[in-house]
């Protein structure tokens, strides 16, 4: 993986501050507004998400045997669960009798009992019980387990590939994000009237910090001073806080980056992992329709520069504060763009050299679709 080591990343940020520069891409990209409205394009994207390895939830939500998370992933009901052997598996969350979902939300169970007629499944997906079994002659238990999909775990995240398998080599492309001492804090779901890409694009550039977040994030963060690194189909965008200038007084080899920047990893296609000061977020941009998206946000506690883990209460204070520093403004921007597009405005969205990660994102789509 070609991401800069911390010392060099800090050097590059301080150089940008001194020279009033930022990382630049190598081309301007024009994306037709129809990409954010067309049902055909939407269906192709959903299909691509379903056939890619995509983060599903933090491992910190599945710490115990039998702990599970159930949600839709690109429209498919999926449940991920940690088995007795410690392995996380994922299944289509649909009973093999008549299809009702066997798990809801998150929690910890010994078995999944379908709420409709109580067919019962073990945590490895196998069918273990059919009430009134004599009513189902010829229905073999061994042929009617939950349908398994690809799943794997690396660096604190659980990944799912609905149409393929996941092995260690698949996951090599992803950095390690969280260690086992980082705890699950909370989850949140926000549904917005905007194409999922418009919402995701707000997280991928720092060119709008002063414009959109003048009184919220800009008092703490620098405008249009970013390090943008593309790796594989993914990107890492580093947003420095003003306080990073304090590092100038510290010996280069002793500098710690924790708390000095927000690191946003845009994981292709539809997930963003942000490492903030005292907590981190995993945001899934779950496409609902061409003009509607649910952002599923999972929050976990952070590890600090001294190696200790942030207390949950402190992480919660940090999370509540971050919610006031621009999330609503980002959503408002995406919704406003969608309103123009949905009203029939036919134009190209222009992404410039400062929006390098978004250009990379669209290039990937062009290649893949």
Provide the sign of the torsion angle of the four alpha carbons 38, 40, 44, 50, taken in this order.
positive
Site membership for Fe ion, residue 201 (CB under 5 A): no
| Interacting span for ligand FES (CB under 6 A) from 7-15, 36-44, 114-122, 157-165 | 114-122
Residue 117 binding result from Fe ion, ligand FES, none, given CB thresholds of 5 to 8 Å by partner type:
ligand FES
Residue 95 binding result from Fe ion, ligand FES, none, given CB thresholds of 5 to 8 Å by partner type:
ligand FES
Residue 116 binding result from Fe ion, ligand FES, none, given CB thresholds of 5 to 8 Å by partner type:
ligand FES
Q: What is the largest CA-CA distance in the chain?
A: 78
DSSP state of 302: P
Q: Which is nearer to ligand FES, 68 or 178 (CB)?
A: 68
232 Cβ contact partners less than 8 Å away, ≥ 6 residues apart: 1, 173, 268
Site membership for Fe ion, residue 355 (CB under 5 A): no
Task: Give the C-alpha separation, 155 to 244, whole Å.
Answer: 26
Site size toward ligand FES, by CB under 6 A: 10
Q: Is 265 helix (H, G, I), strand (E, B) or coil?
A: strand
| Interacting span for ligand FES (CB under 6 A) from 9-17, 57-65, 93-101, 136-144 | 93-101
Site membership for ligand FES, residue 100 (CB under 6 A): yes
Site membership for ligand FES, residue 127 (CB under 6 A): no
In whole angstroms, how close is the CB of 93 to ligand FES at the nearest point? 11
Distances (CA, A) of 19 to 9, 15, 22, 50, 248: 15, 6, 9, 43, 15
Site membership for Fe ion, residue 330 (CB under 5 A): yes
- Strand-pair partners of 113: 120
| Interacting span for ligand FES (CB under 6 A) from 30-38, 117-125, 174-182, 291-299 | 117-125
226 Cβ contact partners less than 8 Å away, ≥ 6 residues apart: 16, 22, 23, 205, 206, 237, 238, 239, 240, 354
Site membership for ligand FES, residue 104 (CB under 6 A): no
Binder among 80, 95, 157, 315 for ligand FES (CB under 6 A): 95
Binder among 46, 83, 97, 292 for ligand FES (CB under 6 A): 97
Q: Which is nearer to ligand FES, 119 or 218 (CB)?
A: 119
Task: Give the C-alpha separation, 111 to 346, whole Å.
Answer: 52
- Strand-pair partners of 68: 81, 107
Binder among 1, 116, 246, 336 for ligand FES (CB under 6 A): 116
Q: Is 276 helix (H, G, I), strand (E, B) or coil?
A: coil
In whole angstroms, how close is the CB of 71 to ligand FES at the nearest point? 19
Q: Which is nearer to ligand FES, 118 or 305 (CB)?
A: 118
Cβ neighbours of 34 (radius 10 Å): 14
Q: Is residue 77 reached through a cis peptide bond, with omega within 30 degrees of 0 on the bond before it?
A: no
Binder among 104, 117, 210, 312 for ligand FES (CB under 6 A): 117
Q: Which is nearer to ligand FES, 118 or 250 (CB)?
A: 118
Task: Give the C-alpha separation, 206 to 355, whole Å.
Answer: 8
Question: How far is residue 202 CA from its own chain's centroid?
Answer: 14
Q: What is the binding site for ligand FES (CB under 6 A)? A: 95, 97-100, 114, 116-119
Footprint of Fe ion (CB under 5 A)? 202, 326, 330
């Amino acid at each position: 993986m070609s991401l800069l080591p911390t010392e060099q990343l800090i050097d590059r940020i301080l150089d940008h501050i001194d020279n009033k520069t930022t990382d630049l891409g190598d081309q301007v990209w024009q994306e037709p507004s129809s990409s954010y409205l067309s049902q055909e394009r939407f269906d192709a994207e959903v299909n691509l998400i379903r056939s890619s390895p995509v983060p599903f939830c933090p491992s910190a939500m599945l710490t115990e045997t039998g702990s599970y998370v159930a949600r839709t992933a690109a429209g498919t009901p999926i449940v991920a669960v940690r088995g007795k052997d410690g392995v996380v598996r994922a299944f289509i969350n649909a009973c093999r009798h008549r299809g009702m979902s066997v798990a809801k939300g998150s929690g910890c169970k010994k078995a999944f009992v379908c709420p409709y007629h109580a067919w019962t499944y073990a945590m490895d997906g196998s069918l273990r019980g059919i009430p009134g079994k004599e009513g189902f002659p010829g229905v073999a238990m061994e042929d009617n387990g939950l349908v398994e999909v690809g799943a794997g775990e690396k660096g604190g995240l659980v990944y799912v590939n609905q149409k393929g398998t996941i092995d260690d080599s698949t996951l090599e492309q992803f950095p390690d994000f969280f260690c086992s001492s980082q705890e699950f804090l909370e989850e949140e779901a926000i549904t917005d009237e905007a194409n999922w890409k418009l919402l995701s694009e707000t997280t991928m550039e720092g060119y709008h910090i002063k414009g959109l977040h003048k009184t919220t994030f800009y008092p703490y963060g620098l405008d249009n001073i970013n390090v943008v690194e593309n790796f594989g189909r993914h990107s890492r965008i580093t947003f420095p806080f003003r306080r990073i200038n304090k590092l100038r007084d510290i010996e280069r080899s002793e500098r710690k980056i924790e708390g000095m920047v927000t690191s946003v990893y845009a994981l292709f296609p539809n997930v963003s992992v942000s490492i903030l000061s005292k907590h981190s977020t995993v945001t899934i941009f779950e496409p609902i329709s061409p003009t509607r998206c649910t952002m599923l946000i999972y929050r976990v506690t952070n590890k600090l520069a001294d190696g200790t883990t942030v207390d949950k209460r402190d992480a919660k204070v940090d999370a509540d504060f971050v919610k006031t520093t621009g999330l609503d403004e980002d959503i408002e921007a995406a919704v406003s763009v969608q309103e123009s597009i949905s009203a029939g405005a036919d134009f190209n969205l222009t992404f410039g050299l400062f929006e390098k990660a978004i250009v990379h994102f669209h290039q990937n789509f062009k290649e893949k679709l």
